[in-house]
Amino acid sequence: MSAVVIIDPRGKRDLGFLDWNPSRGLLVQVLGFIADEVEDQALAADLREFVARGYAFIALSSYSAEQGAEIMKVIRERLPAAVEEWYPGHEGARQHIAELVELVEEAEAGPSA
């Protein structure tokens, strides 16, 4: 089954529709990793609950601007290396995460609201 991540952080505007469509399994793995990496413990708990409940849709606008920025920073700075550890040499996984990183970079570069 697939999942949807909407890259629509608060504090940004005119981003268009930035969405990432991983498998549910990859989404769970990515969100679990992000939960382990963020400093905001309330955010980490919320992400862990998301994973535990098996949801398949998440939007960054559900979080504060600061929490969204922290999620995006982990994706951009730490997730690519983690994927190399999880799936060594797997080009498909690397490309899928690279797509997410590109979407995050596009959102971060977008105009402020």
Q: Which residue has the tokens 């601007």?
A: 65
d(CA 98, CA 95): 5
60-69 per-position pLDDT tens digit: 999 999 999 9
DSSP string, 13-67: ------EE--BHHHHHHHHHHHHHH-S-HHHHHHHHHHHHHT--EEEGGGS-HHH
43-57 per-position pLDDT tens digit: 999 999 999 998 999
